[in-house]
Structure 1
């Protein structure tokens, strides 16, 4: 069994995609068999913060063009509505949302979504508290009013204010009892960015809502606090039987289109064949399709391994990249990292037996430099641009490692050790996450070991 509705969400915080990027995403979706696209970027002010203002004629023309492109590809374009500080007792507020639906329908759009996520979970206006027993009753009333503008030929989606968690609250039960039967409800899972999704938890909340939920999967989105994390990785930990409990599945893309697509290709592979999906092979297929040579593919995969912090990675495994055996073999070849080395880096994998040898790490440092150069000159300009902050961080760590090895090889050259500390400060100005403190920790161990060697001389 596969998902009936499979789509992409443009619903992140930060710079919305350009219209060109949206058309590019539609072509990508058609290629990957994804049939629905929700327009709801949080930082489009007319969508959310200043929702009472109308779109300009030029913007409506762009929506019409986007919808035409989507229809040509067999993709459903869903027009998102949101409303900060909405007054349920203010007729004019309801009229604004109804007017936007009518204006969008005049441009050919037929499907809509009301998004009340990330809003206060209580009434903001006294009149609303007097009219409705609670927020769920008010929101259900609003959905019913807006649904009348969409029926009978359109789809309507709703993201409630409570969109993650156990899924058993009275709020959700009230919605389930009072929402229109055809209104579909988004759900992100146990968390906003859920590390895992199981059939059991989706069935539980679907029973409460009296309809199968539509999964809103917040991967690979990397906005807000996640903006420094690359999120170029395969989809993981989604049970193969989710389609039996969900009406659809939408993946939340991030602000960077090309890096999002690397992960989204794996999501599309999962959605096509949940029971046969294999994360790593599908990820490497995605990387090869996005790059123009084996050296480019190897460079992207190398960076992805080091920049592995994202919601689907266990927090205890974010530092478990492939270079640790080389680092351990290096220090083993030198009889240890020195008396003043300090503790092991917190979060690193448990050391395993290695053959003492300095050569693999020295080779790996050269490889880091080559990969950073390759990434800075990728054939695809969009992918090159989107990876640039992490590429710069990788290049910086490569310099740190080269200088640190130089300081260890020339322990009597104090200036060489100073270079390491100066470069460390510069690299750490870039907050984009690549291997955490792995290379900072290694470099400082090199300096301490060099200092001990100089003292013994």
Structure 2
């Protein structure tokens, strides 16, 4: 058995050769390719049809299927795409065929068995006659990357895989792979297919740990199979792209870039190199222009023919030298960009320069956008993120307005989904939604900004592949289901387990109404409805047990990389599920008046919650230093915490003095001098829900405060402030601060101080009459960390846990 097959094929056989060249996949990062052979979905499907993804623009039925036979002659021209030929040959051999490659000039005398004509009309002179045999027009009038696939009987089986160009030829082979589905019988269909978007792919443009070299190689294989054609290299924390952009690559870094370019080309993916010089560039400087093109030239020598200048997230004030030469930021930037386009890109006959401007969101016109767009070289491609940095929807109206505002015919989307660098504790495994089906009429395409976890991003990238190829027929749910099955593999139990896991990561916080763990939520709601009637609902227990088992049940999934990427979240989910199972036992005991058993079960909860709160996700910040165990994985979109909160209230009503009950502060209102990040409002610190939090949008300054005001003065004996993402791991919090109480808001008494841990808990020997409590900053946070506070409570009784 081929080492890439084990009951279901994970990779094309061609990877055996590429592995020897250093272009294959490591055993730990295997990616499944779309060839399951599932029944087709959609209008007009019938048993026996194969799914082709992305959905072709035209797929017609023919009279009968064609059996390839065991002997196949692949007829090519001297310039037919070598990668397509290699993939086709190894696909056929993996399916049991004996394959001979025959040059077009020799086809009449040496071709035998099934004849497959491969190539484009420009490189294979046998195609016109072969197209007549199979009865379809050629690919000349299709868009770039388009292809024709058809078969017929004429003294044996005849198959045509005709691309508009080399990439189209390669894509025809990828479609054949799906249609054959591991066999040698071609279904009774013919395909005439072309993409509706020119640019389809990903931009590695996030902050945080850059993808590993191996994961990028694996992504290129995935892109080729899914007909994604673009990868933009610009990880924010590659120091040689941003803070040290003038320095050239050397040693292993340069060798790996060379291998990446070779691998991208092998899968017909355009490797675009994006430099980010905007933090310290002088736009009018000859020296900085030379530094730019010198850096580009180093990459061009490796085979890169597509370049990009990223001007996002940089200062908007011009330096002294630029201010003396230019009247605006846009004028300075366009001077620089146009010079790169004309003096370097055009001089070397490269693909047009690409850029993202400093003002990259919002469709309404502005002075910056007008000057940037009207002055830019007309061939420069401009990226835009939608109405916001994160855009829950992108409408046709919005795009039309943006095209007019930027005055460009080459606008395309930098889509900040499913990127998680702003919420590194989260995974976003929900479908790609909210992109209008008509955007191809106005845009060049999309590049998705994926997550820090490369393999966990594959679900959404498969969605982008389906959407960008054929937006009018894109079905978000259908595409998502197919992607999940592809990564899981063919085993039904693994597919079901992966759905249990992905359910815990469905909330996208930038879209109002985005569901929170919908299946888990439904089971929780069903449980509470039954509990209120004095009954138990076993569905929740079954789901929790399945979550506990995910670490083992997902281990054999097809994409080992996905499993490894998400393992911290899988393990944390198991801890949360164990906590809820213990609470379930507690609640049943309360129903049955077994109070001692209820208290015993409650005592087990804390250890599981503490384990779920351990930092197990690595991170990397602006210093470029990789560190293990920095981030607490967030699982369940708050549903676990919500269940715990209500269950504790059930226990509190029956056993108000139980030592397992969490601390609860008096009702109050909260204010802060800190700026707020997005909708993480300070009111969340007094809502009694540890699943919600306040999050600042900057690091604290000395004398910044977070304050709680009660409804009146109370004899306060205890205060508890729970910061960062969990009680067990330090993170975004007030690292240097003092806890103060006041009766009038004017005179303050210090009662405690932070110690670097995420929980500040104070029990007073004598009560302090107070209406106000505040945490006041006394020193800077390390590394400019922001502040998260989940709860800030003042109580008349000392906390028990």
State the TM-score, normalized to the length of structure 2: 0.52
Q: Establish whether residue 418 from structure 1 lines up as the match of residue 611 from structure 2.
A: no
Q: In the alignment, is the contact (CA less than 8 A) between 2:445 and 2:468 conserved in 1? A: no
Aligned mate of 1:304, from 502, 522, 525 = 502
Q: Tell me by how many angstroms 1:378 deviates.
A: 4.0
Choose between structure 1 and 2: higher helix proportion.
1
Aligned counterparts of 1:325 and 1:72: Cα–Cα separation in 2: 46
Q: Which residue of 2 aligns with 1:226?
A: 423
**Does the Cα contact within 8 Å between 1:196 and 1:312 map onto a contact in 2?**
no
The more displaced of 67-76 and 177-186 is 67-76
**Corresponding residue for residue 354 of structure 2:** 157
Aligned length: 434
Do 1:299 and 1:371's aligned partners in 2 also have CA atoms closer than 8 Å? yes
**Deviation at residue 155 of structure 1 after TM alignment:** 2.3
1:109 aligns with 2:304: yes
| Residue equivalent to 2:436 | 239
What is the DSSP-based 3-state SS (H/G/I as helix, E as strand, rest coil) of the residue aligned with 1:237?
coil
2:412 counterpart (197, 200, 214): 214
The 2-side partners of 1:377 and 1:398 are apart by 21
Aligned partners of 1:363 and 1:106: how far apart in 2?
Answer: 58
Residue aligning to 2:569: 390
**How big is each residue's C-alpha offset from its partner over 1:272-294, in whole Å with a ceiling of 9 and x where there is no partner?**
22111111111111011111322
- After superposition, the Cα gap between the structure-2 partners of 1:333 and 1:165, relative to the gap in structure 1 and judged at 3 Å, is same
Bigger drift between 258-267 and 359-368 goes to 359-368
In 1, are the aligned partners of 2:573 and 2:612 still within 8 Å (CA)?
Answer: no
Does structure 2 retain, via aligned residues, the 8 Å contact 1:45–1:51?
yes
Q: How does 1:272-283 map to 2 (within 5 A)?
A: 272-283=469-480
2:288 alignment counterpart: 93
* Pair member with larger Rg: 2
Shift of 1:440: 2.7
What's 1:442 paired with?
A: 643
- Classify 1:427/1:72 alpha carbon distance in 2 versus 1 (closer, same or farther; 3 Å): closer
Report the equivalent of 1:433. Answer: 634
TM-score (norm 1): 0.89
Q: Cα–Cα, structure 1 residues 88 and 454, in superposed 2: closer, same or farther, change >3 Å?
A: closer
The answer to whether the 8 A contact 1:221-1:254 is kept is: yes
Matches within 5 A, 1:305-320: 305-311=503-509, 313-314=511-512, 316-319=513-516
Query: What do residues 41-75 of structure 1 show as CA deviations (whole Å, max 9, x unaligned)?
Result: 11111111111211115433332332222223322
1:406 to 585, 591, 594: 585
Q: Offset at 1:190?
A: 0.7
CA contact 1:236–1:312 (8 Å) conserved in 2: no
Corresponding position: 1:358 with 2:540: no
Structure with more relative contact order (C-alpha pairs < 8 Å, separation 6 or more): 1
Cα distance in 2 for residues equivalent to 1:365 and 1:71: 45
Alignment gaps of 5+ in structure 1: 338-355
Is the aligned partner of 1:136 residue 2:330?
A: yes
Structure 2: gaps (5+ residues): 1-194, 590-594, 616-631, 657-801
User: 2:425 & 2:290 partners in 1: Cα distance?
Assistant: 40
1:318-343: per-residue Cα shift (whole Å, max 9, x none)?
Answer: 43612334323323333369xxxxxx
Question: 1:334, 1:290 → 2: CA distance?
Answer: 37
Per the alignment, do residues 230 and 139 of structure 1 end up closer, same or farther by CA in structure 2, a change over 3 Å counting? same
- Checking the alignment, whether the CA contact within 8 Å between 2:548 and 2:575 is kept in structure 1 is no
Match of 1:326 in 2: 523
Give the drift of 1:23. 1.5
The secondary structure found in structure 1 opposite 2:389 is coil
In structure 2, do the counterparts of structure 1 residues 102 and 418 end up closer, same or farther at CA, with 3 Å as the change threshold? same
Is 1:160–1:185's contact at 8 Å kept on the other side of the alignment? yes
2:77 matched residue in structure 1: none
Partner SS state of residue 232, structure 2: strand
